[in-house]
Amino acid sequence: MADEDKLEYSLKGKAWKVYWLLLKTGRPMSVREVQRKLRFSSPSIANHHLEQLSDLKLVQKQEVGGQYTLVGEVKIGVLRHYVKLGKLLFPRYFFYAVFCSIFYLLFIFFLVRDFFVRENLFILFFGAIVCIIFWYEAYRVWSMRPF
């Protein structure tokens, strides 16, 4: 638990943005490329944060080319709520919202014969609330990403 607290304390601000960028792109990046993507004022800022991540054993500098590669993934902070599929990061709630919405629409289009039956009204109301909650949570977690 102490290592996780240390990582969470160290991964704040610009270091967090650099880590997120490397995690999101999924490929080695140079100091200048990180500087340009994150719009840092100088390459030394990007280099400082990449070295900071290297000290935490999350990235490694390649011998040839000097690019930095992500070697460790951590689930701290907002990353606890994300799932990585290839190079894409999705909030976990996004999958819940899609699953719930698909079955809600399938119920409406194929199983409901009469909307004004008490049981159907309950299911329609309850399903709508559940879908709204999942979509709201997916949006909220998505808006917490660093950039």
16 token code pair = 């967090």
Contact by Cβ (8 Å): 22, 29: yes
∠ CA 36-41-16 to the nearest 5 degrees? 70
pLDDT at position 147 is 63
pLDDT tens per residue across span 113-124:
787 788 888 889
- Specify the DSSP class assigned to residue 108: I
Whole-model pTM? Answer: 0.69
Contact by Cβ (8 Å): 31, 49: no
Other CB atoms within a 10 A radius of the CB of residue 81 amount to 19
* Residue bearing the bigger pLDDT, 8 or 89: 89
How does strand 82-85 pair with strand 68-70? unpaired
